[in-house]
Amino acid sequence: MKRILPFFLPVMTIVLTSCQVATETPKVTGGDVRLSGADSAAYLDGISSNPTVTEAEAMKGILLVLDEKRKMNFAEAVAALQERKIVASNWDFQADKAITRGRIAYMAYQAFGLKGGLTLWLTGPSQRYCLKELQFRGFMGAGISYNTITGMEYVSILGRIDEFRQTGKVTGASAREGGQE
């Protein structure tokens, strides 16, 4: 045991330090794009017919759920969400790029204020495991983290976040595929 320890400890410290999330400043493309000033009903109706959701639109949705009423541009929205730890600090942002299911899951997981399983507890939130957690709870449908999401799906996810934040539960989630409320 005494022989192993001198090797084991440095290896473990290297492993643990490499696991830490890099705190780089995010690259924001299209930061001056103004987010729409629509109210939540108009926003949801407008987005529901879109085949994909852009990052700017997604940010606007999350801000509406969080009851953020300030009018802001994309860069300001990113900063506001980073402040609330809704988005990861090491992501790159592009206003007109279609957002992925993994990113939505990460943002939703943080907005839900959930406490996840063992992997999430050990490693912190990640797109992959946030998606798995939300699928497990019946809050999100099947799909993989690097795929895009339709506007209608995003509307229903935002609705669930809102319901969970208001009531602490999501109606019918327990009976869904993999649902465990």
Partner 1 sequence: MEKYLRTSFCVIVLMTLANVATARQNKATSKPKPISVTVKEVSGTAQRLLAGKDKKWAPLKAGEKIDEMTVIRTGFRTKVVLVFADNSVVTIQRATKMGIGEFRKEGKVTKTRLGLKYGSIRAKVKKAGGPNDFQISTPVATAAARGSESLTMFSPDFGHEGKSFSGKWRHKKGFKVQNISGTEMTNNKLEKPINVTKRIFTPVVRDLYGGLSKKELKYSRRQSTGRAVLSSSPGDNKIKRIINRPAPWRRKVIKSTPRPISPIVTPNLRVPGLDEGN
Task: Single out the residue of 160, 163, 55 nearest to residue 102, CA to CA.
Answer: 55
The Cβ of residue 113 has, within 10 Å, a number of other Cβ atoms equal to 10
Cβ at position 14, least distance to partner 1 in Å: 26
Task: Single out the residue of 135, 93, 130 nearest to residue 115, CA to CA.
Answer: 130
Cβ at position 33, least distance to partner 1 in Å: 22
Q: In 3-state terms, what secondary structure has residue 33?
A: coil
Cβ at position 10, least distance to partner 1 in Å: 30
- The answer to whether 57 and 98 are in contact (CB under 8 A) is no
Which CB, 67 or 83, lies closer to partner 1?
A: 67
Residues that bind partner 1 (CB under 8 A): 39-45, 48, 64-65, 67, 117, 119, 132, 135-136, 138, 140-144, 150, 152-153, 155-159, 162-163, 166, 171-172, 174-180
Which CB, 18 or 180, lies closer to partner 1?
A: 180
